[in-house]
DNA sequence: CGAATTTGACCTGCGC
DNA sequence: GCGCAGGTCAAATTCG
């Protein structure tokens, strides 16, 4: 799943951003440079706040401790990161779970985990479960899952490290974003759209007949927060709108579906 | 019967 | 040095 981090490279910055790695005036002292960087950071933080003001879902994402784009870094953190060691790949995921679900601590997310311990911690009456990636013995990733003390219907999963293998631990075709989207949409729509990102096929059908509707797939979707879900949908919609090949496939699929629904004797 | 989970014991780091 | 809390180990137990 990882490889999602470090989305901005020093050389690939957008125009107008801080020229951290570009040529600087020779006469500029380190102190001046630091002051200028701090000022820039303040401006950027202000701009980010303004941008996020009417986008609470993005704000939530931007403030969550993900290892991806460092958009959430406040000025002082950004400044500190110049000399600090690289941050460990730790990220926290919150997911809603049924309080009655006895096994809810075993959040499924597309990877296969082996539980190796459980502990009751001081600040939370609910036990914390410890998992290791069971797919590859050499995979260093660990996961901690614990119910939130404030909201027992919420599960908090903390991931440490990066997988050194692919995500195909539990099933081969249910973990891609398109299928998760399908899972999310199927709950509110009478039919589902299944997009196979590998074979690039589109299947229209009733929600209860959708492919890949295994328990694992549903569970995998559980770890996607509503905020992330919305961003994911927006991204996918934008992507697909501009994809002529997709639009062609969609048109064909809709046409085929319509043909099925129209009684044959009309033609 | 093998694999996965449970759970008490043990280890380690940290604050006092 | 001591105690506490979090994290890990490994034997026992459960499950498919």
pLDDT tens for residues A197-223?
333 333 343 333 333 333 333 334 444
Q: Give pLDDT, residue A244.
A: 64
CB atoms within 10 A of CB A105: 20
A41, pLDDT greater than 80: no
A159, pLDDT greater than 50: yes
CATH 2.20.25.80 residue spans of chain A: 90-160
Digit-coded pLDDT (tens) for A117-128:
999 888 888 889
A179-202 mean pLDDT: 36
Q: Give pLDDT, residue A97.
A: 63
In angstroms, the CA of A116 and the C1' of C10 are apart by 10
Do the Cβ atoms of A155 and A97 come closer than 8 Å?
A: yes
Q: Enter the CATH code of domain A90-160.
A: 2.20.25.80
Share of chain A above pLDDT 70, in %: 22
A13-41 mean pLDDT: 44
Which residues put CB within 7 Å of chain C, the nucleic strand? Answer: A 116-117, 119, 121-123, 128, 130, 142, 144
In angstroms, the CA of A52 and the C1' of C7 are apart by 38
- For strand B, the positions having any atom within 7 A of a protein Cβ are 4-9
Q: For chain A, give the mean pLDDT.
A: 54
Q: Give pLDDT, residue A39.
A: 59
In angstroms, the CA of A119 and the C1' of B7 are apart by 9
Q: Give pLDDT, residue A71.
A: 33
- Report pTM: 0.44
């Amino acid at each position: 799943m990882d490889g999602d981090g470090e989305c901005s490279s020093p050389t690939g910055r957008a125009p107008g951003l801080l020229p951290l790695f570009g040529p600087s005036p020779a006469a500029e002292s380190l102190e001046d440079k630091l002051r200028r960087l701090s000022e820039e950071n303040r401006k950027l933080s202000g701009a980010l706040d303004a941008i996020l003001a009417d986008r609470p879902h993005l704000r939530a994402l931007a403030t969550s401790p993900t290892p991806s784009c460092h958009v959430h870094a406040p000025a002082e953190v950004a400044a500190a990161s110049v000399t600090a060691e690289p941050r460990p790949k730790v990220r926290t995921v919150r997911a809603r779970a049924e309080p009655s679900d006895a096994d809810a601590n075993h959040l499924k997310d597309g990877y296969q985990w082996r539980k190796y311990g459980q502990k009751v911690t001081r600040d939370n009456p609910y036990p914390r479960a410890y998992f290791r990636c069971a797919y590859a013995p050499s995979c260093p990733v660990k996961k901690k899952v614990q119910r939130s003390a404030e909201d027992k219907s919420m599960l908090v999963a903390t991931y440490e490290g990066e997988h050194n293998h692919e995500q195909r631990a539990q099933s081969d075709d249910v973990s891609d974003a398109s299928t998760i989207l399908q899972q999310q949409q199927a709950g509110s729509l009478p039919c589902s759209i299944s997009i196979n990102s590998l074979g690039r096929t589109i299947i229209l059908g009733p929600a209860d007949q959708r492919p890949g509707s295994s328990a694992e797939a549903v569970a995998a979707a559980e770890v996607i927060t509503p905020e992330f879900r919305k961003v994911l949908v927006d991204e996918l919609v934008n992507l697909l709108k501009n994809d002529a090949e997709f639009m062609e496939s969609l048109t064909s699929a809709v046409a085929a579906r319509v043909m099925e629904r129209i009684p044959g004797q009309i033609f």
